[in-house]
Amino acid sequence: MTYQLDEEQALQRKRLTDKAVNLAVQGRWEEAKKLNKEIIAGFPGDVEAYNRLGKALTELGEFAQAKKAYRKALELAPGNPIAKKNIARLETLPASGKTHGGKTGGIGPELFVAESTKSGIVNLHNLTQDSILARVTQGDQVKLVVEGKRLIINKKNGEYLGEVEPRHSSLLVKLIKGGNKYAAAILSVKPGEVQVMIKEIYQHPEQIGIPSFPVRVSGSSRRHSREGLLNTLITRSKEATGGAEPLEEDVEESGENLPDGFSILEDLEGRKEIEG
């Protein structure tokens, strides 16, 4: 069903939508839940608002209500990929679960603005059980915990998710023990596969000049990868906030192998795209 909006209504919906997206980026899920319900009351055909509501309800542990929101989005837009994927994920969970509280680690777009060799993508192994991973989504901020030679990835509440593969963890553990500090967020979650974005946010003076993620690809290859991954990051951030899906070719390109130590974004313009 199509709803025709006059200019004033369109501006009002855009203002509310921008605010709802910002709440999601900041992880303010209670406020996001309330605002998206307000948007739906005024604009009952807003598919993206239902997807954003589903995301907020999922983060708050209200899984049954989240499924209803996503099913309504699917009713309004049959085949909507965001709604379909999240309904499938929620089917593995009980009707309700442990809530995160009013605010959680948000998408953290600042993680995707990085200098060369200071940020990279890592794969996790020794993953936790699927029922826990089903509650994890792209953009969730996570904690790095050093245990001996192992680098553990936990949720913000301390719940174990997995370990960074040794080919990356060996260097990162040494740098962390030497005083470096890092921030991290989930980049992708698939059955049996989790990727995490890690960014160096502080380099100890005694470790200056030591790259956290040495770059091992040519300039042309890295440029190609940067363009493909930029599309992927924008897509996944939009998904987390109920946004539109990308073109088919963007989805295909996102599956390419990522080089070690790949620097995600190096300009503020890219940050604005991810946030919006």
Considering the four listed CATH numbers 1.10.260.40, 3.40.640.10, 3.40.50.720, 3.30.70.2330, the one that applies to the domain covering 109-275 is 3.30.70.2330
Put simply, whether the predicted model's pTM sits higher than 0.75 gets the answer: no
Structure tokens at 181: 């500090």
pLDDT digits (tens, 9 = 90+) for 204-229: 999 998 999 886 544 444 444 445 44
pLDDT band at 16 (very low <50, low <70, confident <90, very high): very high
Q: Do 7-90 and 109-275 have matching folds?
A: no
Look-up of token digits 């709803």: 3
Taken in order 226, 276, 27, 55, the sign of the CA dihedral is negative
What homologous superfamily is domain 7-90 in, according to CATH? Tetratricopeptide repeat domain (1.25.40.10)
Look-up of token digits 């130590």: 261
Highest mean pLDDT out of 1-5, 119-123, 255-259: 119-123
Secondary structure of residue 142 in the 3-state scheme: strand
- Range list of H helices, 205-267: 219-240, 248-253
Look-up of token digits 């199509």: 2
Triad 35, 272, 8: Cα angle to 5°: 45
Phi-psi region of 185 (alpha: psi -120 to 50; beta: other; left: phi over 0): beta
